[in-house]
Amino acid sequence: MAKSTHFYELFQPKHYDIYLDINRETKQISGTSTITGNASESKIAIHQKYMTITAVKADGQAVPFTFDDQSEGIHIDLNQTGETTVAIDFTAPLTDSMMGIYPSYYELNGEKKQIIGTQFETTAARQAFPCVDEPEAKATFDLAIKFDEQPGETIISNMPEVKTENGVHYFDTTVRMSSYLIAFAFGDMQSKLTTTKSGVQVGVFATKAHQAKELDFALDIAKRSIEFYEDFYQTPYPLPHSWQMALPDFSAGAMENWGLVTYREAYLLIDPDNTAFDLKLRVATVVAHELAHQWFGDLVTMKWWDDLWLNESFANMMEYVAIDAIEPTWGAWDAFQSGDVPMALQRDATDGVQSVHVQVEDPAEIDALFDSAIVYAKGARMLVMVRALIGDDALRAGLKAYFAAHKYGNARGADLWSALGQASGLDVGAIMNSWLEQPGYPVVTAKVVDGQLTITQQQFFVGDGQDAGRQWQIPLNSNYDAVPTLLKDESLNLGDYQTLRQTSGEPFRLNVGNNSHFIVQYDDTLLQDILANVNALDEISQLQLLQDLRLLAEGRRISYAAVVPLLQQFADSKYTVVTSALYTVAGNLRKFVTPDSAEEEQMKAYYDQLSAQQVARLGWTPRASDDIDDELSRPTVLSAALFAHNTKAVAAAHDQFTANATDLASLPAATRPLILANEVKNYGSETLFDQLLTAYRDSTDASYKADLCAALTSTTDAALIAKLIAVFEDADTVKPQDLRAWFRGVLANSKGEQAAWDWIRNDWQWLEDTVGGDMEFTTYITVISRVFRTPERLAEFKAFFEPKINTPGLTREITMDIKVISTRVNLIKDEQTAVNAAIADAVK
């Protein structure tokens, strides 16, 4: 297909006057979009989607127009160029798609209510009002909104309201901004407000179905994040207010609309009296992520969607920089190392993965760009690499210059590299291009050959991969002085190993700090040296060792059976990053055992052995002396003991359940999902199931609901599994935004796998109709690829998805997931016997 023309090239808007009349009752939007701008051609095009256009006028005169569904616009013949004002009258439906202008549903005191919100990124502003819906088409906007308003209702938007006349709410003119960042919300709301040191009003908004105290945590984080960024970026927050709004129905996690950030309720509202620490940290980093975008993304925006990574990678890094700065004891970077890093390394090892920077034109393909493991996690890792290379002083100086040069405008990746390069004196662009433009990452092999220590880079694959001879400029971060900062060539001889070893006095290591995007394969001499001194390693280095061994085993460069005997020595670590890395490896071993087999019993015994001492140390009840590592490790090790079916652990969880039976929500949030699931699995009944399902329907606490979902989907009873499948399409029970978690829960349950797989194949069309417009729609396929492990399932997966392979936005996911499943099937076939023998050996 020929490169499509961006509408911005034909017409450059300067200012919009937008009038909207929204009726919840009739589900109709009508309005006028009046756009003043410069026509560079006499025939221009304006985006619209799903609209009825009733009239188009240019400078007051009716002009001809035609629809063009393919490019989601209308073509207008102006018959002239230059400064023009185009007024477009339209009507549009208000749909439940969670895109454009849409209702969110909730209940308050038994009454069904709705709140209207917006989600325009990437290409849905064109469903709300006709516009040039491209990030480069920045303009100022005057919004005037009327709706079927009830007493006590509130409306908020990017800018403060200036007046209400005849039921129309008028908002102050925005700064120059992109259409995808426009937002508003109205309905019956509660809010809490505060002010930053510099005078920015900060607020958190939610429906009244929540307790007021649930707004406090996010309000405090939002205020302090803005104060942090104003200082770190040396650039003031550009708007009078920063509202955070929780919407009951929300397809993504959160959206950085300028001045009115919208969130899934789970990522904004926190019960301060009973929330697991990891969820608090998650909410804090999500808020900090969206607020990082207020500058990086909103003030300076990517020129086109191919540079989406510029927004997301940066915000993903800054969420950790910010939270680590404002709450240094929370271990924000530990969460990065345990979450984003393995996610990026796993996905980026599959051949066919996208590069961080991707050329893209088709709107359906733009949404498919949001591969969170790549654009967010790998991209953040790239920037962490840059930060480690140039240091914070140069980073801040570079950013300040970048914002000053491009504010209220657009930029490309090269503009950021050049700003950081000027501030640091390094050719940042040259180093980063190898990471940005190439998919995948290298494994660096370190070997002693004829007494010489040599390192070599080669692309790392999990599964078949075509070696395209890719090379990277790799920041090596070695603990040996003889090693250069960067590996720019394929291989390097570092000199006589014995001399180097004696001089340094410690085992040879690369990627110390685990901040560069590569893994290391040490030869036996070097690995044994590291393992003999493993207790001297800090926790990140231990995590890294476990993570690299796991990936090398997944990539068939070492055998999984060889990894098994190494695990026990990490089992009693007090560091949660080590415990989490350990159980990630252990979790990967579970694919080698068939459910309900003798091998699975052996695996359970192995889990029991790994977890025994930690379970004894940490127990079920939080202690006053717990530090954050203890708090985070406790559910991990207890979960291992429950998988092991340790009788004491099963009984202890049951006791906790019984003691809290009248108020299950008050169970300690960190262990609540384990206790509830244990009860369903080991003491379950239809009565309990129905009780938990009712609690799910009634609760507004997102974290409790997630726990109930995990418990309900773990049932082993076929009749109850059928009941679960039956609620998948009942939006009054399972909101479409939460359905993926339910589907994943049932699919990952060996007793529910068949039913969940049948459901998605039978009702694929319903799923596509319901959540197909969602940016994360493809992750329904990803979820399946994480579970399937047999040749039969691989064949069924192919039979179902291969015919869909040319669906826009699905091609890459289907191709990669076939590879992921077939790689797993082959690995199990080849190594199952050896792994199970190693487990039997390890169980004393």
The site for Zn ion (CB under 5 A) is made up of 312, 315
Residue closest to 291 by CA, chosen among 371, 388, 203: 203
Least distance CB 356 / Zn ion (angstroms): 14
Least distance CB 256 / Zn ion (angstroms): 6
Residue 381 near residue 344, CB atoms below 8 Å: yes
DSSP letters along 450-512, please? TTEEEEEEEE--SS----------EE---SSTTS-SEE-SSEEEEEEHHHHHHHH-S---SST
DSSP letters along 578-644, please? HHHHHHHHHHHHGGGS-TTSHHHHHHHHHHHHHHHHHHHHH-SS--TT--HHHHHHHHHHHHHHHHT
| Whole-number Å distance between alpha carbons of 691 and 661 | 11
Q: Which is nearer to Zn ion, 250 or 518 (CB)?
A: 250
Least distance CB 180 / Zn ion (angstroms): 12
Q: Which is nearer to Zn ion, 178 or 614 (CB)?
A: 178
| Whole-number Å distance between alpha carbons of 497 and 514 | 23
Catalytic residue among 290, 539, 753, 813: 290
Q: Which is nearer to Zn ion, 380 or 706 (CB)?
A: 380
Residue closest to 406 by CA, chosen among 301, 556, 287: 301
Instruction: Using CA atoms of 352, 354, 355, 356 in order, give the dihedral in degrees to the nearest 10.
Output: -160
Helices (H) and strands (E) counted in the chain, each on its own, are: 27, 28
Least distance CB 369 / Zn ion (angstroms): 12
| Whole-number Å distance between alpha carbons of 398 and 418 | 8
Q: Which is nearer to Zn ion, 312 or 701 (CB)?
A: 312
| Whole-number Å distance between alpha carbons of 829 and 485 | 41
**And the tokens for 627?**
């530090």
Whole-Å CA distances, 541 to 403, 531, 578: 36, 11, 9
Residue 13 near residue 141, CB atoms below 8 Å: no
Residue closest to 491 by CA, chosen among 532, 525, 442, 536: 442
Least distance CB 376 / Zn ion (angstroms): 7
| Whole-number Å distance between alpha carbons of 139 and 541 | 49
28-39 and 189-195 strand pairing:
unpaired
* 3-state DSSP assignment of residue 254: strand
Q: Which is nearer to Zn ion, 74 or 775 (CB)?
A: 775
Least distance CB 831 / Zn ion (angstroms): 39
Q: Which is nearer to Zn ion, 547 or 737 (CB)?
A: 737
Q: Which is nearer to Zn ion, 142 or 306 (CB)?
A: 306
Least distance CB 297 / Zn ion (angstroms): 7
| Whole-number Å distance between alpha carbons of 491 and 494 | 10
Q: Identify the DSSP state of 251.
A: S
Q: Which is nearer to Zn ion, 314 or 592 (CB)?
A: 314
Residues 827, 831, 833, 835, CA torsion sign:
negative
Residue 5 near residue 44, CB atoms below 8 Å: no
Q: How far is CA 58 from the centre of its chain?
A: 43
Q: Which is nearer to Zn ion, 49 or 289 (CB)?
A: 289
> Is 290 an annotated catalytic residue?
yes
Tell me the helix, strand and coil percentages in the chain, rounded to 5.
45, 20, 30
| Whole-number Å distance between alpha carbons of 510 and 494 | 13
Q: Which is nearer to Zn ion, 312 or 351 (CB)?
A: 312
Residue 222 near residue 242, CB atoms below 8 Å: yes
Beta bridge partners of 84: 37
Residue 244 near residue 268, CB atoms below 8 Å: yes
Residue closest to 158 by CA, chosen among 120, 207, 103: 120
Residue closest to 638 by CA, chosen among 612, 676, 606, 664: 612
Least distance CB 253 / Zn ion (angstroms): 8
Residues 533, 538, 542, 547, CA torsion sign:
negative
Q: Which is nearer to Zn ion, 372 or 418 (CB)?
A: 372
| Whole-number Å distance between alpha carbons of 632 and 267 | 19
Least distance CB 174 / Zn ion (angstroms): 20
Q: Which is nearer to Zn ion, 294 or 478 (CB)?
A: 294
Q: Which is nearer to Zn ion, 254 or 563 (CB)?
A: 254
Least distance CB 319 / Zn ion (angstroms): 9
| Whole-number Å distance between alpha carbons of 626 and 117 | 41
* Closest residue to Zn ion, based on beta-carbon distance: 315
**Helix pair angle (811-842, 598-618), 10° resolution:** 80
Least distance CB 323 / Zn ion (angstroms): 15
Burial degree of 557 (CB within 10 A; 0-12, 13-18, 19+): middle
Residue closest to 315 by CA, chosen among 334, 346, 291, 284: 291
Least distance CB 296 / Zn ion (angstroms): 9
Least distance CB 314 / Zn ion (angstroms): 9
Residues recognised as catalytic: 290
